[in-house]
Amino acid sequence: MKRAGIIGGMGPEATLDLFKKIIKNTPAKKDQEHIPVVIDNYPQIPDRTAFLYGKGENPLPYLLESMERLEKAGVDCLCMPCNTAHYFIEELRKRTQVTFISIVEAVLSDILKSKKEYKKIGLMATDGTFIGKVYHTPFELKGLEIVDFNDKIQQSIMNSIYTLKAGDFTKAVDIFKDVFEKIVDEDYDCLIAGCTEIPILLPYIEKNKNVDIFDATESLAKHVVSFCLDQSVS
């Protein structure tokens, strides 16, 4: 059984959510059958969106520092529960011999495996994820187009994310509930929870049967479990 390493702290709640989902997706019947996981919870990694706006410190040296600690801990694969940070994934992969499992590649794989032809894909993510084309570029290479939200919807999504990061869970849920209703009215048939704070809010919204929602954190967890157990992703 392989050992997983998590570059965490972006934010801590999102890191916890990934760990929970790794546990949930592991077919274990006793403690000893669970995957060994090393988490480097490093909240001091500078804000990724701020950097991509040209207003903050470069997170890359901090990501490399975290990755190095995990490598020294003997992990067999790396992952990070922050979609925006995947702007740096190719740079990180150049600096390590350890398999780096991408959250973007994981959810893209799950969407392609669904074999559904989505007409309107929406991405619930930070501004930085859009600026860096973290999803847009790999999706377009597979012939999938992401249709951006209008500015008001995007701002509300950002508000819900950063309100949760600030520790006001109730307010974050209220903001997200309101904006999700507006998103549904825009006739999206596929939505990606492409910021790792968003899946934490998803259980509190009323689902719409006409919209398929892909939880990127869940996809990542499944792919990490698959790698560590040498199994194919179901």
Residues 156 and 171 placed together within one structural domain of the fold: yes
Same domain, 125 and 176: yes
User: Is 222 contained in some domain?
Assistant: yes
The one catalytic residue in 77, 82, 190, 228 is: 82
CATH code where residue 188 lies: 3.40.50.1860
Q: Stretch 202-222: mean pLDDT, rounded? A: 93
Is 79 part of the annotated catalytic residue set? Answer: no
Is 129 part of any domain? Answer: yes
Average pLDDT in the 144-172 region?
97
Q: Do 92 and 119 belong to one domain?
A: no
**Catalytic residue (one of 77, 79, 190, 195):** 195
When pLDDT is averaged across residues 67-73 and rounded to a whole number, the result is 98
Band (234; pLDDT cuts 50, 70, 90): low
DSSP states along the chain: ---EEEEE-SSHHHHHHHHHHHHHTS--SSGGGSPPEEEEE-TTSPPHHHHHTTSS--SHHHHHHHHHHHHHTT-SEEE-S-SGGGGGHHHHHHT-SSEE--HHHHHHHHHHHHT---S-EEEE--HHHHHTTTTHHHHHHTT--B-PPPHHHHHHHHHHHHHHHTT-HHHHHHHHHHHHHHHHTTT-SEEEE-STTHHHHGGGS---TT-EEEEHHHHHHHHHHHHHHT----
Whole-number pLDDT of residue 209: 80
Does a structural domain hold residue 162? Answer: yes
Please give the pLDDT value at position 137.
97
Count how many domains the chain has: 2
Whether 234 is covered by a domain: the verdict is no
Residues 170 and 96 reside in one and the same domain: no
Q: Once rounded to an integer, what is the mean pLDDT over residues 24-42?
A: 97
Q: Are residues 135 and 147 in the same domain?
A: yes
200 and 108 inside one domain: yes
**Does residue 121 sit in the same domain as residue 142?**
yes
Q: Are residues 61 and 132 in the same domain?
A: no
Residue 232, pLDDT > 80, answer: no
Do both 164 and 113 map to the same domain? Answer: yes
Nearest CA among 8, 6, 13 for reference residue 200:
13
- Supply the pLDDT for residue 210: 86
- Which domain does 93 fall in, by range? 4-102+218-229
Q: Does residue 195 have an active-site annotation?
A: yes
Give yes or no: residues 115 and 87 share one domain: no
How does the average pLDDT of the chain come out, rounded?
A: 96
My answer on whether 140 and 210 are in the same domain is yes
pTM to 2 decimals? 0.96
- Comparing CA positions, the residue from 79, 67, 125, 27 lying closest to residue 221 is 79
pLDDT tens digits, 86-137: 999 999 999 999 999 999 999 999 999 999 999 999 999 999 999 999 999 9
Residue 11 has pLDDT above 80, yes or no: yes
Say if residue 117 is in the same domain as residue 210: yes
Mean pLDDT along residues 39-59: 97
